[in-house]
Structure formats: C-alpha cells, structure tokens
Amino acid sequence: MNWLKKVMAGRYGGDQLSIVLLVFSILLTLIGQLVKIPLISFIGYIPLGISIFRMFSKDISKRRMENYKFAMFVSPVYSWFKKTENRFKDRKTHRYFKCPNCNSKLRLPKGKGKITITCPKCNTKFNKRT
C-alpha cells in the first residue's frame, strides 16, 4: 500500500465525476457485449480513459473545477429525487399543496379536515381538505 501512496502523491484521485465516468464506461461495455456490437464496447473505453486521466492528473485546480461544474449540473436532478423521496416517506402522515398565488409547496398534516391554509411566503389564504 505504501507504493500506492507514493504513486498518488500530488495527484488528484477520484471524485464524483470519475465515478460516474467509470459506471458509464461499464454500462457501455456491457451493452456492447449484450447487443454484440463491438463499436459500443470500444466507445465504452473512452470514459474509462478520461476517468483514469483525471485520477492521475497533477492539475488539481482544473479537476476540482470540472467536478464542481458537474455537481452544479447534477444538483437539480439530485434535489428532485430527494424531494420525491421525502414526499414518499411522508405520504401517510402529510399532504402537500401548492399555493395558488406563488406556487410554493406547503406540507400539512393529514386528518385535520377542511382547513384554511395561509401561505408563509405571500400570506394568501385558501381552503383545502387534508
């Protein structure tokens, strides 16, 4: 293990973008093998090469910026999945409504009957059954 530390000293290493590139490479290679199209398998090696290049790169600031841009690109998708997961977990205890004025999402407990809801952002009042 000491030799690996010596090799990786001063190098960037792995990050989220490198992992996504590795997974993408594996998927392309598997699809190429299953469909029996060697061109797809060959194209699957391109993300693998990019990922290895990024891991062994000594230009750390450039690799960090690439990973930051990737994170900014993926964050809306990740955020949507987390919101959907939270709504799924709360489905038995809470209901979600949209404010008719500002379209903000409001989370209310179930089983309260017909209530008047006041939006905390725009102070619009509307009636809903929970």
Same domain for 57 and 98?
Answer: no
pLDDT tens column, 51-73: 999 999 999 999 999 999 999 99
β-pairing verdict for 125-129 and 114-118: antiparallel
Same domain for 38 and 61?
Answer: yes
Same domain for 58 and 118?
Answer: no
pLDDT tens column, 82-117: 999 999 999 899 999 999 889 899 989 998 889 998
Question: Buried (b) or exposed (e) across 48-60, using 16+ Cβ within 10 A?
Answer: bebbeebbeeeee
DSSP 116: E
> What single-letter amino acid sits at 112?
K
The parent domain of residue 82 ranges over: 1-89
Neighbour count for residue 126 (Cβ, 10 Å) = 15
